[in-house]
Amino acid sequence: MNQYVIGVIVSNVTGVLSRVSGMFTRRGFNIDCLTVGETESAGFSRITVAFHGDDEVKERILKQLEKLHDVKEVEVLEKNDTVIRELLLLKVRNSPSTRQDIMAAVEIFRSKIVDYSTTALVCELTGETSKIDAFIELMKTYGIMEMCRTGMVAIERGQNCLKTR
């Protein structure tokens, strides 16, 4: 099983997220992560979905998405030709004994500390999923209090664009 990342351009209308996520639920496909946001054109939103499956599953997902009235464009984003990023906000315990180690890790991962209190630090990190995973793994040592991550956003390299025809 591979992981696929797809970009979906949809009409920016009520219920469109339900329609897209509902298609996955109803046909028994699992979503690894899903993000949605505005695009360069006001009438459209862009959904990035990552899922695991074989080639057949991928084909079925693409075709079922294309059938939805509000879906205007669907494309598989090949990992080699795509910039993929995720954002992480992570709250870790702050104590005099661990502070220096955390600061060092933050430095090496090119993370940022965006909030500081005597008992907690909030780190911000952007990167590919694997980098985020590695950072979280490391922070577990120091006691993660809370965290949230956005899921992937992805855009193709070069001049090709995912736009509505």
Tokens 């780190």, located at residue: 123
Q: Give yes or no for residue 66 binding another protein (CB under 8 A).
A: yes
Tokens 């997902």, located at residue: 61
Question: Residue 20 or residue 88: which is nearer to another protein going by CB?
Answer: 20
Supply 87's token pair: 């954002």
Distance CA 7, CA 132 (A): 21
Whether the Cβ atoms of residue 83 and residue 77 lie closer than 8 Å to each other: no
Question: Residue 19 or residue 149: which is nearer to another protein going by CB?
Answer: 19
Binding mask 9-48 for another protein (x = CB under 8 A): -----xx--xx--x---x----------------------
Least Å from the CB of residue 12 to another protein: 15
Q: Which of 42, 67, 80, 117 binds another protein (CB under 8 A)?
A: 67
Q: CA angle, 17 as apex, 35 and 40 as ends, to 5°?
A: 60
Q: Give yes or no for residue 115 binding another protein (CB under 8 A).
A: no
Q: Give yes or no for residue 63 binding another protein (CB under 8 A).
A: yes
Q: Give yes or no for residue 160 binding another protein (CB under 8 A).
A: no
Supply 117's token pair: 């209190």
Least Å from the CB of residue 44 to another protein: 17
One-letter amino acid for residue 1 of the chain: M
Distance CA 49, CA 33 (A): 6
